[in-house]
Structure 1
């Protein structure tokens, strides 16, 4: 999964730190990140590369520290939406990180998660005053009324429902990837993770489940989320009643008909592979 980057080590502890020329720099315009083109792919530019675009030296760097992986840090430099894209660069959505190396994928996506949160809280939601970044912890503070905002991490559940040798698979209408995945959704206020798993399967597929078991979790910066994965068994009638507003497809797929899924990014693929290989949990 995306956070499994060993032997590399993520340090996401809040701190204030000066940049080095070879550190990564995310230039964020409120919705997308400036990435450097390298052939048919993209990489995260370094602090030195960003500074060279404006002819500045490192003493004039305007970004701030976010996190580190091993001995390389990730910094953020926020720019306005109309920031002119330099030649050889392109503003890209967060999905671009998924095709990068494990370090850039995890570090870039997590940094973009923080950048998105910061961009949404430039003004206080309580009094409307301009906010500032906290200097003791990762927070955004209103200097006028004292309101404090912490990073947004929305809980999500994803469920692998089995019916004998068949797995419930689905395609969300908002997912540009045409492959089938699993039922998932955000946890509602006032419900447990287990209750959310039951509700999501019922809402999206019209099915009851039983024997719900925890599988694992992962950070998912692409939706500002933390995903909890579950396995379950069908309980009763196997007739699918697809929620058309959410899913373009939902069906039972036999184990032998499921293609191989790569497990280096998402817990959804790990759950599918777990079933395809014999369902060990």
Structure 2
């Protein structure tokens, strides 16, 4: 999956040390990121690449994390070199581009960029927020409100019926491939209750034998995904929630669509069932 970057080591400890010339500088505009693509994959600019047109770049930055002890920083409002090999690319590219450890860095940096962008001002009194020096937190000097990065718990749900697996396609989204059922946990419910509710809401089915499989950070949507397998409990007739899904259908194990990528928990869970490992 996208976070599986071994032998590289990701360290998310907040250590706001000053950047060096060879430190990576992550720059975003809306849903795009500055990078250089080639046949070998991609890379990000360093501070040395950007310093000629950005004299204050060593003063205006935010420490993000490190990989293999090499730090990554967020930079804002930079001047970009015209006709440079570095171009703005949609963050969806991080699903498939290599090397994987840089793709993971890019989408994780984007999650933090989005959080910083949406918390420039206090949500309680409207005053500008300030960065804390010891931990990744924004605080309001006026009213004392503290804000930490947002992580939304959500479920990925593989509904089984013997040798069959239920697959669906989202309604109104750019992602058109088959997927498992999914949904966010609501306030006041357990993750297992989320599984039952989402299955009932989206396809009108009851489930039992809910079994936890694995989790995955999914920075594309600020989400911590938790995967579950469960068994159909009763009738298999699907009642589709057309606001959420374009279709949902049962597949025999041997007829499941081929999984062509391994970046997501959804694809891994489908593949595990297809291969008879679950």
Give TM-score scaled by structure 1 length: 0.91
- Count of residues in Structure 1 that have an aligned counterpart in Structure 2: 276
* 2:178 corresponds to 1:180: yes
* 2:15 corresponds to 1:15: yes
* 2:89 corresponds to 1:115: no
Q: What are the residue-to-residue correspondences of 1:80-99 with 2, within 5 Å? A: 86-87=82-83, 88-99=85-96
Displacement of 1:51? 2.3
1:79-133 CA deviation, whole Å, 9 max, x = no partner?
29xx778434443332122222211111111111111000000011111111111
Displacement of 1:27? 1.1
2:265 aligned residue: 267
Does structure 2 conserve the Cα–Cα contact (< 8 Å) formed by 1:30 and 1:119?
Answer: no
Displacement of 1:246? 0.8
**Structure 2 Cα separation of the partners of residues 256 and 98 of structure 1:** 26
1:29-54 CA deviation, whole Å, 9 max, x = no partner?
354322334369654222222224x1
Does structure 2 conserve the Cα–Cα contact (< 8 Å) formed by 1:206 and 1:241?
Answer: yes
Displacement of 1:136? 1.2
Displacement of 1:177? 3.1
What stretches of structure 1 of length at least 5 have no aligned partner? none
Give TM-score scaled by structure 2 length: 0.92
**Structure 1 Cα separation of the partners of residues 8 and 260 of structure 2:** 20
1:66 aligned residue: 64
1:204 aligned residue: 202
Q: Aligned match of 1:171 in 169, 172, 175?
A: 169
1:189-227 CA deviation, whole Å, 9 max, x = no partner?
111100001111111111111100000101000000100
Displacement of 1:21? 2.5
